[in-house]
Structure 1
Amino acid sequence: MIKIKQALNNDFYFYLITGLNMLILIIRLN
């Protein structure tokens, strides 16, 4: 259970950081 929880947290932070980078790129292009 702990390993699964850690994996979910890693995915959450990965998508969060990726989403922020995408937003920054979109804002720069505009």
Structure 2
Amino acid sequence: MASVGLIVHIILGKFCDHLPLYRQEQIFKTRYR
């Protein structure tokens, strides 16, 4: 199960920073290997 912090990070990225989910996925892959 995802932590609250991760869910908040995804929601803020999607709605505040206007990042689509596939782009967020790419960012997570490069930052958090």
Give the TM-score normalised by structure 2: 0.42
Q: Which structure is higher in helix share?
A: 1
The structure with higher relative contact order (CA 8 Å, sep 6+) is 2
